[in-house]
Structure 1
Amino acid sequence: MAVGLKTWDAAGNLIIDTATRMSRVIGMTGVSAGATGSITDAGFATGAPYCIALRVSAGTPTGIDNSLVSPIISFSGTTMSYNVASPAGDHLLIYGVY
């Protein structure tokens, strides 16, 4: 007999099974407009890393549409690097793996 987790909705459609990739939040940090830096965490090696950047302040008007400016995030091994351009405003970075 097979072993694992399977979840169906009310209509009988399979929602989750052992092949479903689900995310795990490793941590979060607040970063200011203009900040650059990196975060090293061994947890990044346990799956495909991701980062969600939530803007928490509007930033400084610069004549461009600030809603289109977002932080530059990159991953290398167990390190996540970020660069928050000044017009982007302050952000909350939520990072993890899936």
Structure 2
Amino acid sequence: MAYGIRVRDAAGNITLDTSYRAGRIIGMLQSGTNPGSINVPGFSQGEGFAIAVPFQGSGVFCPVATVSGNVLSWDWVGSTYLQYRSNSLIVYGVR
């Protein structure tokens, strides 16, 4: 039998189950339109994750964010056209 807490909404749907792993956001940054990387010491507290969200709408390329150790990197994979690179918000954290 699993142990933990389950929180349900009025319809009986599970909205939180502590037997699952929940993430914690460490920070956010703007990517600009060039590849880059930063050191994030907080990644040592768990398994790092990152997601990039474009500021512009359709027809643009969003960077691919990757985590390796304590380093967060971003690049536009397969996009050599600078005019189509979107400045994006990169949200990163640990789970």
Same fold, TM exceeding 0.5? yes
Pick the aligned partner of 1:75 from 30, 45, 67: 67
Higher relative CO (Cα under 8 Å, sequence separation at least 6) belongs to 1
1:26-41 alignment runs, 5 A limit: 26-33=26-33, 35-41=34-40
CA shift at 1:25, angstroms?
A: 0.8
Is the alpha carbon distance of 1:72 and 1:7 closer, same or farther for their aligned partners in structure 2, counting shifts above 3 Å? same
Count of paired positions = 89
- SS class of match (2:43): helix
Structure 2: runs of 5+ lacking an equivalent: none
Contact 1:66/1:88, CA 8 A, preserved across alignment = no
CA shift at 1:9, angstroms?
A: 2.5
Counterparts of 1:17 and 1:89, CA distance in 2: 36
Cα-to-partner distance string for 1:17-76 (whole Å, 9 max, x where unaligned)? 33121111110111212x111121122122222222121136xxxxxx834x22122211
1:1-98 alignment runs, 5 A limit: 4-33=4-33, 35-57=34-56, 66-67=59-60, 69-84=61-76, 85=79, 86=82, 87-98=84-95
Counterparts of 2:47 and 2:9, CA distance in 1: 27
Task: State which drifts further: 17-26 or 81-90.
Answer: 81-90
Structure 1: runs of 5+ lacking an equivalent: 59-64
Among the aligned pairs, what percent are the same residue? 33
Larger Rg: 1
Contact 1:51/1:93, CA 8 A, preserved across alignment = yes
**Aligned residue type for 2:74:** Y
Contact 2:4/2:19, CA 8 A, preserved across alignment = no
